[in-house]
Structure 1
Amino acid sequence: MDKIIKTSKTIRAILKVLFWVVAVVSVVILAAILVALFMKGGTALDGGFSITLGNYSLLLNQEYSSQQLTSLHFMTFANVALFGTLSCYIIRVLLNVFEPMSQGKPFSTTISVALKKLAYAILIMGIINLVLQIATNLIFYNVFDIPSLFNADRVESCSISIVSDGSFIIWFFILRLVGHIFKYGETLQQLSDETL
Structure 2
Amino acid sequence: MTWSLRATRLSPFMAILALAACSPEPGEVAGPPASAPEAPATPPPAPPESDGQTVGGDGSAIDLQTLTSQDLAAETLAGELACSFSGGDDQLLLVARGNVASDDPAFGVVKVSGYVERVAAPGGFDAMLDGASFAGRGKTVVIAVTGPAEGGGESPPRPATLTYQRADGASRVFQGLWTCGP
Q: TM-score with structure 2 length normalisation? A: 0.22
Higher share in strand: 2
**Bigger radius of gyration:** 2
